[in-house]
């Protein structure tokens, strides 16, 4: 990377908004093995929009509880701790993407002028989070469940960064790398000096998120480069490809071949992948209705 590119990137990353305090708190609770339903209830109850969403979720047809759920505590008991925590994270990151980032750039007078479909990018991040978590569950690594979801949700945050801080360079990258995700990382390296995985990892590190997700995010397009968290990196890589395949089956048919060595490495069979695909599609459509609350 050229010295002036490093300087520009480092300076821009230091300007990138910090994570809202509530997100940091949810993540802290998420990693605390002693956190209780009461702690989570306190956080949710302090936020009316969040309370509304959790209740809406608990009362949705998807879960089919026979009577109406009226309190956060009841929702946690019925939906389960893990579902509620993931929903909170998903909601908070959605708000961060939709409100904090645009407001921040408006205030700082920066342009955000790259034609990316933000909604589609968002759906992709959620699909990756679900797929990554499901791969982990298939492999009976329950202890990683939340890390996997978090890594999936955050893995492309570097793209948001490029769109906001380097719109001119990123437009050029996109012109070169239409539809080919592997080429995207290559062109980012070529034009900007780092790919969105590396930049995402710097951001996640700066936000003090769990160290275990830093390398997987950095290497999600090239898991071969991972040294310390190779397994979670491979899982995130497959989760990312699977999420793309679910959204764009035709466009991804060839791309999916890239997953093959990693499926072997992770000991994942075709029937397991099909099961995960079905689960992701189902949960994703549920989350879409859930997010369409505003
Ligand atoms: Fe990516
Ligand atoms: Fe991705």
Helices marked H in the chain: 3-15, 21-30, 37-45, 48-58, 72-79, 81-95, 101-107, 118-138, 145-154, 157-165, 167-176, 181-191, 196-206, 214-218, 230-247, 249-252, 260-265, 270-291
Distance 278 CA to ligand 2 centre (A): 19
Query: So what's the pLDDT on residue 294?
Result: 44
Domain spanning 3-16+91-291: which superfamily? Hypothetical protein af1432 (1.10.3210.10)
Distance CA 148, CA 45 (A): 26
Q: How far is the CA of 198 from the centre of ligand 1 (A)?
A: 10
Q: How far is the CA of 32 from the centre of ligand 2 (A)?
A: 27
CA distances in angstroms from 90 to 99, 154, 238, listed in the order given: 14, 10, 20
Residues with CB under 5 A from ligand 2 (ion): 156, 240
* Ligand located closest to 125 CA: 2
Long-range pairs for 164-172 at CB < 8 Å and ≥24 separation? 164/101, 164/105, 164/110, 164/112, 165/12, 165/15, 165/16, 165/110, 166/12, 166/192, 167/111, 167/112, 167/113, 167/114, 170/114, 171/113, 171/114, 171/115
Ligand nearest to the backbone CA of 223: 1
pLDDT 10s per residue in the chain (294 long)? 566 777 778 777 888 888 777 777 777 776 777 777 788 888 888 888 788 888 888 888 777 778 888 988 888 888 887 788 788 888 878 877 776 666 666 666 665 556 567 778 888 999 999 999 999 999 999 889 889 999 999 999 998 888 878 888 888 888 888 766 568 899 999 899 999 999 999 999 988 888 999 999 999 999 999 999 999 999 999 999 999 988 877 767 777 888 999 999 999 999 999 999 999 998 888 777 766 644
Neighbours of ion ligand 1 (CB under 5 A): 156
DSSP secondary structure code for residue 18 in this structure: P
Token pair listed for 190:
């070529």
Compute, in angstroms, the gap from residue 48 CA to the centroid of ligand 2: 31
Which pLDDT does position 291 carry in this prediction? 66
The ligand minimizing its distance to the Cα of 162 is 1
**DSSP state letter for 173:** H
CA distance 263 to 235: 9
Cβ(137)–Cβ(286) below 8 Å: no
pLDDT of residue 127: 94
- Distance between CA atoms of residues 289 and 292, nearest Å: 5
Contact 220, 233 (CB under 8 A): yes
Domain ranges of the chain: 3-16+91-291
Count CB atoms within 10 A of the CB of residue 275.
13
Tokens of 264: 């072997």
Ligand 1: centre distance to CA 253 (Å) = 17
| pTM given for the model | 0.85
What's the CA-to-centroid distance between 235 and ligand 1, angstroms? 13
Alpha carbon of 128 to ligand 2 centroid (Å): 7
DSSP 213: G
Q: Is 57 helix (H, G, I), strand (E, B) or coil?
A: helix
- Give residue 195 CA to ligand 2 midpoint distance, Å: 12
Burial of 227 (0-12, 13-18, 19+ CB in 10 A): exposed
* Tokens read off for 114: 């790259």
Query: Ligand 2 mean position to 75 CA, how many Å?
Result: 31
Q: The tokens of 225 are what?
A: 């480069």
């Amino acid at each position: 990377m050229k010295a002036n590119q490093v300087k520009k990137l480092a300076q821009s990353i230091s300007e990138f908004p910090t994570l809202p305090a509530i997100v940091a708190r949810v993540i802290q609770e998420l990693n605390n093995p002693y956190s209780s339903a009461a702690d989570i209830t306190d956080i949710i109850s302090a936020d009316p929009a969040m309370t509304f969403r959790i209740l809406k979720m608990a009362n949705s047809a998807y879960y089919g509880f026979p009577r109406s759920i009226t309190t956060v505590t009841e929702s946690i008991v019925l939906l389960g701790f893990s579902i509620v925590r993931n929903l909170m994270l998903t909601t908070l990151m959605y708000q961060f993407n939709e409100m904090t980032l645009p407001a921040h750039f408006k205030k700082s007078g920066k342009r955000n002028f790259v034609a990316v479909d933000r909604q589609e990018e968002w759906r992709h991040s959620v699909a990756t989070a679900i797929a990554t978590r499901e791969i982990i569950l298939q492999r009976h690594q329950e202890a990683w469940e939340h890390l996997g979801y978090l890594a999936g949700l955050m893995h492309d945050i570097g793209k948001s960064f490029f769109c906001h801080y380097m719109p001119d360079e990123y437009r050029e990258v996109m012109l070169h790398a239409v539809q080919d995700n592997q080429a995207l990382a290559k062109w980012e390296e070529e034009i900007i000096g780092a790919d969105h995985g590396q930049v995402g990892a710097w951001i996640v590190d700066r936000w003090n998120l769990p160290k275990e997700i830093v390398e997987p995010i950095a290497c999600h397009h090239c898991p071969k480069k991972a040294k310390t968290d190779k397994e979670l990196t491979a899982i995130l890589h497959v989760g990312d490809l699977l999420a793309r395949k679910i959204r764009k089956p035709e466009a991804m048919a060839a791309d999916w071949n890239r997953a093959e060595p990693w499926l072997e490495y992770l000991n994942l069979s075709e029937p397991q992948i099909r099961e995960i695909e079905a689960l992701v599609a189902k949960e994703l459509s549920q989350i879409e209705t859930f997010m369409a609350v505003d």
